[in-house]
Every structure is written in structure tokens, then in C-alpha cells.
Structure 1
Amino acid sequence: MDNYQRFLQAYNELEHALQHRLKVDAKNNLGSLLRIASQTHDKLITAHYEQLDFLRNFRNILVHNGLLKEGEIATPSDALIEKVQTITIKIREAKKIKDFFTSKVISFKLTDPLPKVLQAVNQYGYTKFPVFSEDRLVGVVTDNGITKFMASRLQEDLVSIKSVQIAQILAIDKRKDSFMIVNETTSIYDIDEIFTRKIEEGKSSFILLMARDNHVDQPEDITGIITPLDLPKIIDNL
């Protein structure tokens, strides 16, 4: 197989990888795929936009004008073919969040007392905890929510805080639902896009709960938590 054939084979494999990622059928060529990626803000694909657009143009020249009487006017080099293969691998095997953010997750029940949460904050340094009620995820208790609750109780005896339950904190915390459940196999690029969009919406406290699938029924289903503070780590691995 010469480089002409090798390039076209690698190019077709790249198109298939892009079609699979964007969940579109095989009739979409690279030009259409790039437009779809731009419209859907797919950062994994748009990060390689210039390279992909060059490959699209090169392929068109090669197929439509490449063979003349004088011979080929464009011959794919080994380096170019390797570049196509490298991009294909990056698309197919994008870095997964489970490789970076899998960790022990501390969760609580609605009936747990506030001091138990404060102890976890002190012991683990975490500031956001999933809360369950009878095997159902009902929200996330955060340092912000606790602070607001305590501020609302300033006129009362602070000793009474010992009897406060998490349910009381969530009842006044408007941000208790500021989370999204994401599959642990989600790519780093997709997570970066989610946080970028949420921050643009003014939701800077938004967090992501990692799960083995797309739902959480019990504490063990959560395999990690990603917060805006993790953005530097996310960006470093794009």
C-alpha cells in the first residue's frame, strides 16, 4: 500500500472517529463534522480545528486534482499520515475524568447533625458533600450553605447549632441543586466545556458528581467530585 492509499485509509478512520464522537451518521464528511463540532462547542474537536481543516483541504486536492499526467501534485508524507493517526487516537481515546478525579467521597444523610459535617470539613478539607435520604440524592451541602444558615441564626444561642440537622441547611440553601451527575468516562474536554458554560451563566459554585453511569441511587454510586477549583488540573490535561 502506497502513501496515497495509506493517507485515505487513515483519513476515513479519522472521519469515522469524529462521526462516532458527534453521534452522527456516516454521510457527514469532515467539513460537515467541523461545522457540527463548532455549533455544539465540542472542544476536543475544535481544539484541532486548523489541523482538521487542513487535512480536509489536502484530501480534496489529493482526490480531485492529485493525479495528473505529470504525476501526483500532492504526495502524503509519512509524517502527515502519522499526524492523522495521532489525531484519530486523541479523538477515540480522549482522557477520561475517572483517571484524574476518582476519590473517596464523603456523604451524609438529611438527619445527620451539622457538627458531623463540620468535623468532615476539618478532617478532609472538603467543602461540598452529597446528601441522601432513603437511598435518594436530595442535594449537596456546602460551606456556603452552612455559612448562610449560621448567619441566619446569629440572634440565637450558638450552642443550639449542635442540634441542627442537614435538612435545615438545605431548606434555605438555594444552591443545594447546583450539581450535575456525569459519567466517569466523560472526557476532560467535555468537562471543561460544562464548567465554561456554567461560569458564563454565573454559576461559579456548580459542581460535578462522577458516577459509573448517569444516575446516582446511593452514596457508593458517586466515584468522585469535581469543582471549579479543579479547573487548573483540567486545563493542564487538555
Structure 2
Amino acid sequence: MKPANKQDQLLSERFEVAFNQVHDALRDIVQINDERFVVLVKVGAKKYQVIETFKKDLEQYARLRNAIVHEKMAVGFYIAEPNAKVVHHIEKIANILSRPNYAPTIATKNVVFFDENDSILKVTAAIKQHGYSKFPIYKNQKCIGLLTAGSIMKWMAQHMESGIVNLADVRIADIMKVEKKQSIEFISKEINIFEVENIFEKAHKKKNKLEAVVITENGNAGEKPLGIITPWDLIQIDYTVE
């Protein structure tokens, strides 16, 4: 058994600091009545994509932390030592969990939106140009819902005659009237990604299919949309840590 040198002690100290930062962040994010690290990781991984991404790493780090803190043989003597790569990795995770990105970082930017009196041809042109499939619709400068490409297709199928649909005189309002209202939520641009995931999770528990979250300056329906987040956007978040 060899005493740890100063470099090893520094790595151990950095590891423990980062581990504690992760633990504190998990408490704030998961918010359950059990503060055990492994429990917070297990429960949090079921709710949040970012914690699920790092679940295996965090479980391994919990075992390493126990070896460092609880199984120290004597002052300066350790059974286990984190290497520089491990320390760097857990510090990166601590940074992500402690300072989560705001909602706009994962949202579709340059939102295309319309007034309910606009021609549906403007929407089909936007679908062709941008490849978007969801569009906030406004009435008297207030968002009243979401028009989806699927809703347009369904409406066209219902109004087709001899394989042809004449859209020349069709307004967005015509489709919005007959289609089931799409469920959306409005959030401030200051909300972080964990809060966004919570919004979708709460909707899921209520068996309410939330189509999208619309980001505005202050989370008001009367404000210009700054971004849109769909469930697919949450799945696509890249939490890779080099």
C-alpha cells in the first residue's frame, strides 16, 4: 500500500467536489424524500433523459466515491484512486446538471406561424420550404392552437372529390374548426430543460398528449413564438461528454 502523492490527492479532492455537486443537483432536480445518491440516480433516470444518459457512469462513480471516502486506510492512503479521465468526466456531468441549458437551446428556432385567416396554401408552402410539421396559429395576436401537417392531411382526405382537393379558398380557420384542438403549453425562455421534461411528464400522467411546448419571452400566448419543443426534441438531446 503506497501513500497517495500530491497529484493523486488533488484528483481525489476534485472527484469528491464534483461528486457532491452532482449529488446536490440531483436533489434539486429529482425532488424526492430520499437523498441517497443511487436512489436519486435511479428515480431521476426514469424521468429525465440527461440522467438516464449518465446513469451507468454515476452508479460506478458512487461505488468509487464510497471507496475513496469510506475505505481510506489512513491519512494519504487510498484503496481506490480516480484517474484524470474519470475526474474530467464527472466534472463535466456536474456542470451539465448544476447549470442545465435553457429551453431555447433544444427548441426548433425560426418558428413559422400564421393567422387563422391565412390561406392554407401558405402553410403547405411553408411545409415544402422548411420541412416543418407544426405551426402555431394566432387569432387577434394570440396563439389559439397548433396546426399540424397531419391535421391538414386528414382534412384533405375528408374533403377529397374524385381524388382532387381544391385548397384555393380554404383558410386555416376552416381546418382548425373541424380538427381536434392540439394540446400545447407556453413557457418562458428562462425555463430550463428539466422543467420542460416535467411539463411533458405531467401531461403524460394525465393521459393528455402534449403536442408541443411553445417558447415565448414570458410564457404568454399573446407573445411571438421564439421556439417550439416537441417530445422528439427531448429524445434527440445530445448529452455526450468528451
Q: CA deviation at 1:58?
A: 2.0
Taking structure 1 as reference, are residues 53 and 227 closer, same or farther at Cα in structure 2, changes over 3 Å only? closer
Partner letter of residue 53 of structure 2? Answer: A
| 8 Å CA contact retained: 2:186, 2:220 | yes
Partner of 2:38: 31
Partner letter of residue 37 of structure 2? Answer: L
Partner of 1:14: 22
Q: CA deviation at 1:140?
A: 1.5
Whole-Å separation in 2 of the counterparts to 1:69 and 1:107: 64
Structure 1 residue 210 corresponds to structure 2 residue 215 = yes
Gaps of 5+ in 2: 1-5
Q: CA deviation at 1:130?
A: 1.0
3-state SS in 2 of match to 1:37: helix
Whole-Å separation in 2 of the counterparts to 1:228 and 1:188: 13
Taking structure 1 as reference, are residues 207 and 163 closer, same or farther at Cα in structure 2, changes over 3 Å only? same
Taking structure 1 as reference, are residues 116 and 76 closer, same or farther at Cα in structure 2, changes over 3 Å only? closer
Structure 2 residue corresponding to 1:115, chosen from 121, 143, 155: 121
Q: CA deviation at 1:217?
A: 1.8
State the superposition RMSD in angstroms: 4.0
Cα deviation, 1:164-205, whole Å, max 9, x if unaligned, reads 33222112112x3144445555439966x959x97xx896x9
Partner of 2:182: 177
Cα deviation, 1:21-76, whole Å, max 9, x if unaligned, reads 33569x824123213314x4222112211221122122222222212499432334
Cα deviation, 1:105-131, whole Å, max 9, x if unaligned, reads 222222333334344444544443211
Gaps of 5+ in 1: none
3-state SS in 2 of match to 1:216: coil
How many residue pairs end up in the alignment? 226
Cα deviation, 1:199-235, whole Å, max 9, x if unaligned, reads xx896x93443334444323x1x11234577688x25
Taking structure 1 as reference, are residues 173 and 94 closer, same or farther at Cα in structure 2, changes over 3 Å only? same
Taking structure 1 as reference, are residues 91 and 65 closer, same or farther at Cα in structure 2, changes over 3 Å only? same
Q: CA deviation at 1:88?
A: 0.9
Structure 1 residue 145 corresponds to structure 2 residue 148 = no
3-state SS in 2 of match to 1:72: coil
Partner letter of residue 146 of structure 1? Answer: I
Identity of aligned residues (%): 23
Whole-Å separation in 2 of the counterparts to 1:133 and 1:41: 35
Partner letter of residue 221 of structure 2? Answer: V
| 8 Å CA contact retained: 1:65, 1:73 | yes
Structure 1 residue 225 corresponds to structure 2 residue 228 = yes
